[in-house]
Structure 1
Amino acid sequence: MRRATPRRYLMCPPTHFQVTYRINPWMDPAKPVDRVLAVFQWEELRDRYRALGHTVEVLDPLPELPDMVFAANGATVVGGRVLGARFANPERTEEAPAHLAWFRANGFGDVREPEHVNEGEGDFAVTASWILAGQGFRSSPLAHDEAQVFFGRPVISLELTDPRYYHLDTALAVLDDAGDEIMYYPGAFSPTSRDVLARLFPDALLATAEDAAVLGLNAVSDGRNVLLPRAARGLRDPLRARGFEPVPMDVSELHKAGGSVKCCTQELRPAAR
């Protein structure tokens, strides 16, 4: 029986969510956004985390930053140390200082403003042995070196080649960070990166193109419960076969900006005791 581990997450409500620009293939300013529905779906996700025994901290949204709901992009926290974000697109630049201010005001003493472009947990995924790091569309390879030095953990660079999967967290999810278990969509990666993933994670759950296309890899696991988009039906049975409990969530309104469960969820990993 797999055991869930209590987690602490940072989320930001979609109070000002809208799609007024296009910085990934999912975004279309011509399509209307139902902000009331987006807030309802976000609140259901927040409440589900709390019902599962997790702590959810809330970052106050800023009106001029409609993508701030995607809190995973604002920083990466490993062992209580915080590496902030430096966004690739000017539309999101001011999200970074808002995140850093929250960490400094909430007891995080080791907070680093990065030198190189990285988009937080959008492109950093933490396992027991490594930090997996995406590049190709947003985060700079130089940020991978910066993270390795700052966190003192080996960083494995992975190249994303399909613009629909512009962040690592749209193509790969950590299922058990204590046991180096992941799921990913091979078609999102370069041949070399597929080879690396196959060697490091020979027993990984491989997602189909259909489940990747509904952002099924943009999921959050506590070691037992895997919260994932409701439309990713093909992942449910494979997850159950491995002892996980899939928890389908409807965050379809946020899909209009290219985000889902993980994009809304930054994990606040504590210092080792």
Structure 2
Amino acid sequence: MPELEQQPRVPMTRRYLMCPPRYFAVDYVINPWMDPSVPVSVDTATAQWTELRDTYRRLGHTVEEIEAQPGLPDMVFAANSGTVVDGRVLGSRFRAPQRTAEAEHFRRWFVEHGYRDITMPEKINEAEGDFAWTGKVLLAGTGFRTDPAAHAEAQEVLGVPVVSLRLIDPSYYHLDTALFVLAEATDTTSAQIAYYADAFSAGSRKVLERMFPDAVIADRADAECFGLNGVSDGRNVVLPVEATGLAARLTERGYEVLFVDISELRKAGGGPKCCTLEIRK
């Protein structure tokens, strides 16, 4: 086993912004997981979301909430509405018109909570849906939602290096459905990620192999249950309850896995990370 895998996993306290699924519904189709003919339950979605929120709080993380708005059933997927690095906020600009209005509600939340360094993008940019901060580099997805030009815009606004990755499977339309950061890089340690290789172009796979030779590689079963839409604090990893294969591999690497049921939220194409916008000061 590589030396990296034997290092103790250190959790880092996080601050998250979430939106309760008060108006959750599947009334339209903007990704392959959505089917308006399949009934959904707001009560079930709310119970699952609440358990996810409470899991974060039990781990010692801070969770703030933004008020849900009528007519915006996907607002629960807060990760798509902002990217925050070192207190700088890059807002979102949605590709689907059904979600466009969400961006302004999140911008107002940041303004009302004292953030002044806020930029709303000119290019299509679905925020942490397609941006993953590794502690040193921002991994940026494109192919289905976020415009490639948004990657350069993010680099200018956030002042961090950006590495572009191309997604090729429409089932994994956002980067956060195919990759997540397990442990951020520090001055003495490298970042570690987990990803589903078949979601990426050949060139992007080579980039990931070069940058993260010790990555945890997920299989199709992991990906199909949104296992790559996990959330990690560096030690504790929150995964969908079905992601047992990925959980076993993470446990071997020294991570502690906590399972949550996101089956109702998954009907709209969302999982733990989709519901979780991280605020990094």
- Which secondary structure does the structure 1 equivalent of 2:193 belong to? strand
Q: Identity of aligned pairs, percent?
A: 58
Among residues 223, 239, 243, which one is paired with 1:228 in the alignment?
Answer: 239
Structure 2 residue 225 is matched with structure 1 residue 218: no
- 1:5-42: CA deviations, max 9, x gaps? 11000000000000000000000000000110000000
Partner residue in 2 for 1:25: 32
Partners of 2:205 and 2:10 in 1: CA distance: 29
Among residues 96, 101, 115, which one is paired with 2:103 in the alignment?
Answer: 96
Among residues 81, 86, 90, which one is paired with 2:93 in the alignment?
Answer: 86
* Runs of 5+ consecutive residues of structure 2 not aligned to the other structure: 1-7
Structure 2 residue 17 is matched with structure 1 residue 10: yes
How large is the Cα RMSD of the aligned pairs? 0.6
- 1:206-264: CA deviations, max 9, x gaps? 00011101110000000000001111110111101111101111011000000000000
- Which secondary structure does the structure 1 equivalent of 2:155 belong to? helix
1:197-216 correspondence runs (5 A): 197-216=208-227
Partners of 1:226 and 1:217 in 2: CA distance: 11
- Which secondary structure does the structure 1 equivalent of 2:47 belong to? helix
Letter of the 2:13 partner, please give it: P
Partners of 1:235 and 1:207 in 2: CA distance: 6
CA deviation after TM superposition for structure 1 residue 129, in Å: 2.0
Letter of the 2:236 partner, please give it: N
Partner residue in 1 for 2:276: 265
1:169-188 correspondence runs (5 A): 169-178=176-185, 179-188=190-199
- 1:174-206: CA deviations, max 9, x gaps? 000133100000000000100111101111000
Partners of 1:49 and 1:247 in 2: CA distance: 10
Partner residue in 1 for 2:260: 249
Runs ≥4 residues deviating over 3 A: none
Partners of 2:74 and 2:218 in 1: CA distance: 27
Provide the aligned length of Structure 1 versus Structure 2: 270
Partners of 1:130 and 1:176 in 2: CA distance: 13
- Which secondary structure does the structure 2 equivalent of 1:69 belong to? coil
CA deviation after TM superposition for structure 1 residue 143, in Å: 0.4
Using the size of structure 2 for normalisation, the TM-score is 0.95
Using the size of structure 1 for normalisation, the TM-score is 0.98
Partner residue in 1 for 2:3: none
CA deviation after TM superposition for structure 1 residue 103, in Å: 0.3
Partners of 2:223 and 2:252 in 1: CA distance: 19
Partner residue in 1 for 2:5: none
Structure 2 residue 47 is matched with structure 1 residue 36: no
Letter of the 1:84 partner, please give it: G
1:114-133 correspondence runs (5 A): 114-133=121-140
* Runs of 5+ consecutive residues of structure 1 not aligned to the other structure: none
Partners of 1:103 and 1:151 in 2: CA distance: 16
- 1:123-165: CA deviations, max 9, x gaps? 0000022100000000001100000111111100000000000
